[in-house]
Amino acid sequence: MNEQGEYDGFDMDLIKEVGKRLGMEVKIEALEFESLIASLKQGKIDAIISCMARDPEREKEADFTIPYLLIKDGVLVNPESELEINELDDVLKYEFAVQTGTTMDKWATIKAEENLVKDSQIKRYTDANAAALDVKNGRVDAFLVDLPVAESKAKELGLKVAFSCALDEGAPCIVLRKGSDEMVEKLNGIIEDIIEDGTLKTLEDKWLED
């Protein structure tokens, strides 16, 4: 949140721009990542914009636009720490955070199943803000999260992105309820326009650049 108590960040600015081009008012609700699709199906929200990539399981339950951003994943750390992270698996030497239900959570679970990290080293959060704050306050060593989120939190909280990589082959989309073909088509057109007219680059420069 900003000083006015409003949600801000790359996704927030993007969906506001999409709403403007649709001629619709956007109301932002902060929900736990793992509850997003259920909330969408129940009609509690109309769309999801939260670095959610399509995958076969999610596509059974929701409709996806074209990707609005090609992203990597980042390792968020406190710049005052002495962590040595030169590759992703270096995170396994420390206590690190992931957000429940994300690709990074799945990656960490697989590493634990392979006995490459103790499950006690993996700290699972439902809220990315809480995880980032715990990195800042030294309660956890690192937070593995989508790079746009990592860079936004680094800028907001005085942290740094120690490493980034293409862990997730997917790319974030706007997610709608099943059967939203007409709206998906409209949003795809708007996303293409936002990319072509430079609006997306402006938002990237504002939120995602060091």
Whether residues 109 and 124 share a domain: the answer is yes
The structural domain count of the chain equals: 2
Which structural domain, as residue segments, surrounds residue 107?
73-165
Let me know: does 89 contact 210? Beta carbons within 8 Å. no
- pTM score, whole prediction: 0.63
130-139 per-position pLDDT tens digit: 999 999 999 9
106-116 per-position pLDDT tens digit: 899 999 999 99
51-65 per-position pLDDT tens digit: 898 888 899 999 999
CATH of the domain at 176: 3.40.190.10
Q: φ and ψ at 113, to 5 degrees?
A: -65, -30
203 domain residue, yes or no: yes
104 domain residue, yes or no: yes
147-157 and 199-207 helices, crossing angle to 10°: 50
Which ranges constitute the DSSP H helices of 79-146? 103-113, 128-136
Count the residues in the chain. Answer: 210
Q: Where are the beta strands (DSSP E) in 6-112?
A: 47-53, 62-64, 73-77, 96-99
Whether residues 133 and 202 share a domain: the answer is no
Distance CA 33, CA 51 (A): 10
Let me know: does 198 contact 121? Beta carbons within 8 Å. no
State yes or no: pLDDT of 207 exceeds 90.
Answer: no
Whether residues 81 and 158 share a domain: the answer is yes
Looking at residue 8, its pLDDT comes to 86
